[in-house]
Chains A and B, each alone.
Chain A
Amino acid sequence: MTAASAPLVSIQSLHKSYGPHIQVLKGLDIEMKPGERVVVIGPSGGGKSTLLRVMMGLEKIDSGAITFGGKPYISSSDLAAKTVIDTEVRRSIGMVFQHYTLFPHLSVIQNLVLAPCKVRGEKKASALQRAQALLERFGLGAKANAFPAQLSGGQKQRVAIARALMLDPKLMLFDEVTSALDPELVAEVEQVILQLANQNLPMMIVTHDMWFAKNIASRVIFCAGGVVVEDGPPEQVLGAPREERTREFIDRVFHIKQ
């Protein structure tokens, strides 16, 4: 295998349930190449967010395995019923959540420098400089010393993205990052993500915004009932889906009655 085609992420038969009765992921297989921007769509409860949370190492899994950059990342041993997560690998992944999850007691810039200083032992001065530059780039230069509660939802989410970028992630996960925003604030957040897309940062995005999905995706996965139903380029999955269930979903989302 050449380096170009070697997968960045490889997910093999991932199973995950909450309690004995609720099976959320029922054997998911996804392979993601470097530079890909994968948008995951699908009905609520179909396992999209759970997939992202598992990839971030926030959830235990029942069985299956994930490798990252060819290295084993997450695996589960059936015998011990234990999920093994390589925290070293986990540090190369960044995630942005629906509800911002900024640290409310820290100013914007302190939110940004906490992890680089504490995780990588970066010098405070250099981290502050990088943070300020990043904030300027996202149009938040003036907000460096504000507290999260003093920001709009769109600003908070841009700060959250900047915070994740401070660790130079090799993969970014976006979990419905615009779902909690007022409609007029959605664009400013999506612009920032599009900016990152132009730099070929690999990302996996869960969103309900089909316009955004079409614009950013290099590949779309339709996920329902805990399995991958359809997987292909955006023109196919969003424009001319091959699977019946995908078509139904897309039609409903776009309000097209036939």
Chain B
Amino acid sequence: MTLDFSVLLRFQEALAVGLWTTIKLTLICVVLGCSLGFLVGLARTSPSIIVRGIASVYVEFFRGTPVLIQLFWIFFCLPLVLGVELSNLASGVIALTLYMGAITSETFRASLKSVGREQLDACIALGLPRHVQVVNVILPQAVLRAVPTLLSNCVSLFKESALVSAVGMADLMFVGQNISNNTARPVEVLTIVALIYFAIAFPLTRAVTLIEGRILKKLAI
């Protein structure tokens, strides 16, 4: 067969709109998901067994089931449960935020745990009050340590966001599949779609390596 990538030129705009939806969805869920993940990460270190238990069940369940089924559940079942209509965007945001919250909570939990006992000893020896220990010593270190993994989490979210195409949200993947069906040129269209995802995700993964190497080595965290 002969490949003809020129068919895509006609669909530049549609692809751009799809990509913008993908990016918008990713950015919204990065912000909401990281905030949720941070709170859940803290909740998992809570002294209260109930708080800890609820947080653990949430995280384990979302990490233990396919994102696709989470998405289906939220698109088709949540409106029934709540008795309200949810827009596609709202459902997508809810689903991916819950996913992102679950994976980043693990990142935050691990980085909080990695701030060693010795740092706490130093805080006590300097007579630092509890809130200063948390705000000035533990949190900055935990967040710095979490940065590379959080970035990886963002890349995962960006990739998982393509799943919303399966429930009819017009993201990059959805637009690509539509064009591919209409033009009967799946090879060209799907390859370009894949390359667009790659062109965004790959530099981000390189950035993760760079940050790990530079900043964290400099601080030896």
A positions within 8 Å CB-CB of B = 53, 56-58, 87, 90-91, 93-95, 97, 99, 101-105, 114-115, 118-119, 147-150, 163-164, 167
Q: Whose C-beta in chain A lies nearest to the C-beta of B140?
A: A105
Q: How far is the CA of A94 from the CA of B118 in the complex (A)?
A: 15
Chain B residues closer than 8 Å to A150, beta-carbon distance: 218
Q: How far is the CA of A200 from the CA of B136 in the complex (A)?
A: 33
Q: How far is the CA of A150 from the CA of B137 in the complex (A)?
A: 19
Since A104-B220, A105-B219 are in contact, a sample of 12 more A-B pairs with Cβ atoms closer than 8 Å, ordered by chain A residue number, is: A94-B126, A97-B118, A102-B122, A104-B221, A114-B128, A115-B127, A118-B128, A119-B126, A119-B132, A147-B219, A149-B220, A163-B126
A114 B136 Cβ-Cβ under 8 A: yes
Name, among A57, A87, A114, the residue most crowded by chain B CB atoms within 10 Å (CB to CB): A114
Q: How far is the CA of A97 from the CA of B121 in the complex (A)?
A: 9
A91 is contacted by which of B122, B127, B218 (Cβ under 8 Å)? B127
A57 B124 Cβ-Cβ under 8 A: yes
> Given that A97-B121, A114-B136, A118-B132 are contacting pairs, would A104 and B219 also be in contact in the complex, using a CB cutoff of 8 Å?
yes
Q: Whose C-beta in chain B lies nearest to the C-beta of A88?
A: B127
Q: How far is the CA of A103 from the CA of B116 in the complex (A)?
A: 11
Nearest Cβ distance between residue A119 and chain B, in whole angstroms?
5
A114 B141 Cβ-Cβ under 8 A: no
A119 B221 Cβ-Cβ under 8 A: no
A115 is contacted by which of B121, B126, B141 (Cβ under 8 Å)? B126
The answer, yes or no, to whether B87 is at the interface (CB within 8 Å) is no
Chain A residues closer than 8 Å to B118, beta-carbon distance: 97, 99, 101
Q: How far is the CA of A90 from the CA of B137 in the complex (A)?
A: 20
The answer, yes or no, to whether B125 is at the interface (CB within 8 Å) is yes
Interface size on B, residues (CB 8 A): 21
Q: Whose C-beta in chain B lies nearest to the C-beta of A148?
A: B220
Chain A residues closer than 8 Å to B141, beta-carbon distance: 103-105
Nearest Cβ distance between residue B40 and chain A, in whole angstroms?
24
Nearest Cβ distance between residue B115 and chain A, in whole angstroms?
10
Query: B117-146: contact bitstring with A at CB < 8 Å (1 yes, 0 no)?
Result: 011011011111100100011001100100
Nearest Cβ distance between residue A172 and chain B, in whole angstroms?
10
A164 B136 Cβ-Cβ under 8 A: no
Q: Whose C-beta in chain B lies nearest to the C-beta of A57?
A: B124
Q: Whose C-beta in chain A lies nearest to the C-beta of B137?
A: A103
The answer, yes or no, to whether B217 is at the interface (CB within 8 Å) is yes
Nearest Cβ distance between residue B132 and chain A, in whole angstroms?
4
Q: Whose C-beta in chain A lies nearest to the C-beta of B132?
A: A118
Q: How far is the CA of A95 from the CA of B126 in the complex (A)?
A: 8
Chain B residues closer than 8 Å to A53, beta-carbon distance: 121
A119 B219 Cβ-Cβ under 8 A: no
> Given that A97-B118, A103-B119 are contacting pairs, would A149 and B126 also be in contact in the complex, using a CB cutoff of 8 Å?
no
Chain A residues closer than 8 Å to B125, beta-carbon distance: 56, 58, 93-95, 97, 164
Q: How far is the CA of A53 from the CA of B117 in the complex (A)?
A: 13
B126 A114 Cβ-Cβ under 8 A: yes
